[in-house]
Structure 1
């Protein structure tokens, strides 16, 4: 079964989300659509380096990675590529758990701050060397 979605760029997500439309708010880094299985649930996909990435080529939209509606009864799993919906295989409970663990690990890695070098101690005015002291020290070596 071939299915496609239209897209609409909006500032705010409408109160009534229509079937077959992917609403995209660049201002709020969010995309939303009704689950493509027909269950009626609204699927929110945050756009960020650790969530979904949106590609718009001027004619069509792609979301990456796939959408796994694991919290819905339907547990629909699919890709949105060039406005087309491509159904993916059903995941087991173990695959869902591993996928969630990988997602958490990726987010933790991304947001984990690298070690910040300690600041140099502040030299108080009395500890600063004058130019003559530096020259003198240079010649004593």
Structure 2
């Protein structure tokens, strides 16, 4: 059955059998899972990471961003979850799908490259503190 709304359920681990209309959110594993909103029964898993999806929770009303595009499935569903509601979008053309996939892949590369840069800077700061004796307890 096509969904118009999801009920968020905060879990440690996602159950093997998902219920229609439930959005299972595992903060521990940084995922949100649900059955496709179109009713096709496909499992949808969104990775809650900075370069992937973001989850916002306002008084039990959750939103996922960006949209969810199920282009590899026959249903070709494309929707957002905003304040627990499903907001349907139009189907993307093949060119639009390719552009989004390229943009998403670049966002992931940029995110991890920035993290590597921050780690390098933090490492250099630690080394400098050790060399200058500033890491000793006072």
TM-score (norm 1): 0.79
Match of 1:130 in 2: none
Name the larger-Rg structure: 1
Q: What is the DSSP-based 3-state SS (H/G/I as helix, E as strand, rest coil) of the residue aligned with 1:50?
A: coil
Match of 1:24 in 2: 25
**C-alpha separation between the residues in 1 aligned to 2:16 and 2:30?**
17
- 1:2 positional shift: 7.8
Deviations 1:91-134, CA, capped at 9 Å, x for gaps? 011110110000011111111133957x7xxxxxxxxxxxxxxx
Match of 1:72 in 2: 73
Question: Kindly tell me: are residues 15 and 47 of structure 1, through their superposed partners in 2, closer, same or farther at Cα, counting changes over 3 Å?
Answer: same
Stretches of structure 1 that go unaligned for 5 or more consecutive residues are 120-141
- 1:7 positional shift: 0.9
Stretches of structure 2 that go unaligned for 5 or more consecutive residues are 125-138
TM-score (norm 2): 0.80
Output the aligned Cα RMSD: 1.8
Larger helix proportion of the pair: 2
